[in-house]
């Protein structure tokens, strides 16, 4: 593919709620651009972007996939991002390098949980956004209800630039409100539509929505507003220019529509990507951080020093490690020598590739603003920077949710131990939301993800990619312990075994700290009764003791510890002695501080059919849930319920919701806070934990 300057490139992330048809939209654009000769289907696994076997089997996107192609002398890098909340890291990475987002919305459901969350992520990144309302031919599809839900969720500057002709199965085209032309569907036409006059019965409605569009567009130009109020004729180029300015500056969010699986409206969407969304040159400088944490603007100039953002890593057992990159400035060439400034290591770039899903093509270079793939870098991973020289630059931290669904696991056989360790290491390179560690209390290996689906996908990939099989044990609830009142303790550690002994003496006071504080350690020693060199050892001893609470061995959270007095011996005192002494004192104080067992409380957002709301609420009540509110969503008989529920009660929620709603319900789960476990349940949890601990010791 020919080299393009930054003003001829479009980098677009396709985002939206799971099942809204993003992958089908991507397929239709590839077909429309002449890259493919047929429309791939998500239901039969023939799409370009969902190429992995597990994506085909599950019928959903798991990885963000890049497709690069040309249209109208522009180079488009479109990133098809997964909508399943389990893989939000993929969507977040895609948004971090895109210059705009196309938010795909299901015409039946309107704004859903995932739509809202991804819109907010795009807003935080100050990305221009364009909406494509898909699936107009579905039963109960309603473009105008979906548009109303978009306005209700995201404000009045969400405005239609197209409206459909017909409803549900009778949709036969769209009206372009900018050109005031109809585009009727003709299946025999490669482009999917043919231009025509607006049907007579649609003219009045089209003029109403055209007026609404012009009101919004005119607000982005004082001159245009003046002409508009005077009733003067406004040229097509003036409208397009003002529209693009409004979109680029985040003042206007156009809503287009169509049916991706029938290639209706996707040709117009492709034109909107080229005409209405900004290039890297128009978006301007990308923000990085210098060594002091101050912001640094990096302009997309091919003549500047090389700066490359690595935003995705794939560890393929056959192709090796593939890093997907965006060139922020300069030009990245094949066979270049670069510096990973994040790790301060040298790397040699071999090939450079462009992708259409799993299919890759070698290119000579990638200019500023472009996206491509660098294979087989030795140490570089996602979230790192490559430069042509050592520079004090860093990426801002990508905010991602913490893993909450934890399972104990063990290799299926002894021969799988090494393979499992290798597989987990490689998969963690790809996925920053995956956590794998050993429980210090039980010695069990723990694998934790955002949802049960997330963990299941990881386990399946371990087997399919690396031949490593592991067995999962029931999910573990991440309980913690806390104190409810202040307490104090005096501990002394004294040991004499011939020769130099061990001596330490500490007076500590503990009290509850603010939520989220963790350990707040306060040194109030005066007069040198404990030398300053031993104070860090006291803090280390407290930290170690906080790993295992006195009730059930769970970690202790949010404690303020004051070291107020103590003694030392000039010969026998040591860091180890004070560490042990502090640990002893903390445990003693804990016993008098009214310790409590806390459980994680999840915020559960459920979308379900109206006729299932009563059953869903009843089930939530049986799970100790507390509904916070509900509201209609989308205008298609769907209600969104928001509730607080103890994490322990929703470990098996996915199959339960499917059963209640006949497979029509969906939900998103995120950690909210910790709360005290009711006394009768706490006794059972504590007894079980102590029993498990006894067995582990035995």
Domain-located, residue 329:
yes
CATH of the domain at 470: 3.30.70.870
Domain end position, chosen among 578, 593, 608:
593
Q: In what order do the strands lie in the sheet with 470-476?
A: 435-438, 445-449, 405-411, 470-476
Q: Going by DSSP bridges, is the β-strand pair 595-609/480-483 parallel, antiparallel, or unpaired?
A: antiparallel
- Judgement on whether residues 177 and 237 belong to the same structural domain of the protein: yes
CATH of the domain at 518: 3.30.230.10
- Judgement on whether residues 654 and 510 belong to the same structural domain of the protein: no
- Judgement on whether residues 301 and 312 belong to the same structural domain of the protein: yes
List of the chain residues with pLDDT < 50: 188-191, 696-698
Domain-located, residue 318:
yes
- Judgement on whether residues 381 and 420 belong to the same structural domain of the protein: no
- Judgement on whether residues 440 and 505 belong to the same structural domain of the protein: no
3-state secondary structure of 350: coil
Would you state the pLDDT for residue 587?
95
Q: Please give the tally of structural domains in the chain.
A: 5
- Judgement on whether residues 56 and 191 belong to the same structural domain of the protein: yes
3-state secondary structure of 682: helix
- Judgement on whether residues 229 and 267 belong to the same structural domain of the protein: yes
- Cα–Cα distance for residue pair 442/503, rounded to 1 Å: 31
Burial of 296 (0-12, 13-18, 19+ CB in 10 A): middle
CATH of the domain at 354: 2.40.30.10
Domain end position, chosen among 248, 283, 318:
283
Domain membership of residue 382 as a residue range: 286-394
Domain end position, chosen among 283, 317, 341:
283
Would you state the pLDDT for residue 189?
42
- Judgement on whether residues 120 and 247 belong to the same structural domain of the protein: yes
> Tens of pLDDT along 48-98?
887 777 887 788 888 899 999 999 999 999 999 999 888 999 999 999 999
Assigned token pair, 416: 């799988």
Domain-located, residue 247:
yes
Assigned token pair, 373: 């793939």
CATH of the domain at 668: 3.30.70.240
Would you state the pLDDT for residue 540?
96
Would you state the pLDDT for residue 227?
67
Domain-located, residue 689:
no
Domain-located, residue 546:
yes
> Tens of pLDDT along 95-113?
999 999 999 999 998 988 7
Domain-located, residue 230:
yes
- Judgement on whether residues 355 and 277 belong to the same structural domain of the protein: no
- Judgement on whether residues 494 and 536 belong to the same structural domain of the protein: yes
Domain-located, residue 58:
yes
- Judgement on whether residues 188 and 86 belong to the same structural domain of the protein: yes
Assigned token pair, 35: 């890259």
- Cα–Cα distance for residue pair 1/366, rounded to 1 Å: 11
- Judgement on whether residues 89 and 212 belong to the same structural domain of the protein: yes
- Cα–Cα distance for residue pair 360/368, rounded to 1 Å: 20
Would you state the pLDDT for residue 698?
40
Answer whether 0.85 is exceeded by the pTM.
no
Backbone φ and ψ of 205, nearest 5°: -65, -40
Domain-located, residue 586:
yes
Angle between helix 416-430 and 452-466 (nearest 10): 120
């Amino acid at each position: 593919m020919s080299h393009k300057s930054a003003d001829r490139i479009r980098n677009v992330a396709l985002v939206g709620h799971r099942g809204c048809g993003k992958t089908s939209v991507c397929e239709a654009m590839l077909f429309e651009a002449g890259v493919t000769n047929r429309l791939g289907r998500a239901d039969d696994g023939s799409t370009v972007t969902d190429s992995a076997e597990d994506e085909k089997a599950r019928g959903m996107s798991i990885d963000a996939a890049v497709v690069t192609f040309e249209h109208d002398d522009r180079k488009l890098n479109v990133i098809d991002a997964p909508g399943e909340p389990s893989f939000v890291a993929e969507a977040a990475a895609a948004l971090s390098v895109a210059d705009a987002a196309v938010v795909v919305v299901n015409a039946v459901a309107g704004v859903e949980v995932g739509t809202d969350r991804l819109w907010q992520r795009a807003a935080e990144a100050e990305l221009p956004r364009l909406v494509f309302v898909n699936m107009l031919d579905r039963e109960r599809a309603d473009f105008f209800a979906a548009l109303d839900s978009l306005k209700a969720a995201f404000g009045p500057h969400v405005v239609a630039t197209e409206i459909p002709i017909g409803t549900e199965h009778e949709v036969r085209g769209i009206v372009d409100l900018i050109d005031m032309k109809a585009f009727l569907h003709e299946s025999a036409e490669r482009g999917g539509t043919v231009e025509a006059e607006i049907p007579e019965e649609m003219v009045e409605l089209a003029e109403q929505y055209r007026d609404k569009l012009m009101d919004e567009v005119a607000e982005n130009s004082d001159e245009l507003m003046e002409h508009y109020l005077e009733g003067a004729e406004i040229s097509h180029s003036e409208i397009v220019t003002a529209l693009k300015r409004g979109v680029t500056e985040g003042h206007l969010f156009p809503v287009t529509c169509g049916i991706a699986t029938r290639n209706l409206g996707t040709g117009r969407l492709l034109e909107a990507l080229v005409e209405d969304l900004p290039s890297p040159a128009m978006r301007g400088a990308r923000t990085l951080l210098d060594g002091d944490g101050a912001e640094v603007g990096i302009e997309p100039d091919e003549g500047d020093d090389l700066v490359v953002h690595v935003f995705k890593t794939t560890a393929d057992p056959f192709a090796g490690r593939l890093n997907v990159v965006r060139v922020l400035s300069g030009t990245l060439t094949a066979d270049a020598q670069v510096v990973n400034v994040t790790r301060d290591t040298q790397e040699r770039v071999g090939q450079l590739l462009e992708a259409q899903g799993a299919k890759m093509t070698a290119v000579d270079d990638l200019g500023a603003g472009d996206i491509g793939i660098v294979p087989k870098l030795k140490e570089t991973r996602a979230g790192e920077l490559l430069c042509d020289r050592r520079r004090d630059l860093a990426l801002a931290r990508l905010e991602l949710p913490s893993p909450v669904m934890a399972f104990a696991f063990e290799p299926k056989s002894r021969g799988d131990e090494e393979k499992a360790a290798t597989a987990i290491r490689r998969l963690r390179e790809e996925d920053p939301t995956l956590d794998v560690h050993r429980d210090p209390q039980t010695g069990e290996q723990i694998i934790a993800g955002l949802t049960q689906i997330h963990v299941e996908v990881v386990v399946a990939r371990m087997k399919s990619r690396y031949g490593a099989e592991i067995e999962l044990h029931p999910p573990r609830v991440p309980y913690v312990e806390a104190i409810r009142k202040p307490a104090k303790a005096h501990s002394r550690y004294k040991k004499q075994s011939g020769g130099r002994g061990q001596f330490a003496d500490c007076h500590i006071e503990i009290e509850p700290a603010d939520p989220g504080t963790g350990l707040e350690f306060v040194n109030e020693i005066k007069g040198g009764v404990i030398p300053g060199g031993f104070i860090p050892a006291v803090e280390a001893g407290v930290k170690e003791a906080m790993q295992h609470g006195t009730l059930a061995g769970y970690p202790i959270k949010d404690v303020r510890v004051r070291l107020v007095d103590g003694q030392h011996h000039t010969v026998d005192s040591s860091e180890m002695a004070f560490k042990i002494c502090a640990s002893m004192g903390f445990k003693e104080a804990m016993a008098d501080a009214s310790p409590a067992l806390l459980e994680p409380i999840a915020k559960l957002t459920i979308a379900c059919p109206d006729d299932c709301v009563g059953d869903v609420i009843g089930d939530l009540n049986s799970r100790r849930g507390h509904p916070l509110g509900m509201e209609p969503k989308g205008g298609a008989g769907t209600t969104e319920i928001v509730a607080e529920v103890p994490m322990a009660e929703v470990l098996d929620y996915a199959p339960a919701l499917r059963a209640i709603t006949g497979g029509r319900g969906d939900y998103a789960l995120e950690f909210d806070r910790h709360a005290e476990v009711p006394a009768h349940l706490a006794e059972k949890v504590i007894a079980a934990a102590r029993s498990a601990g006894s067995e582990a010791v035995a």
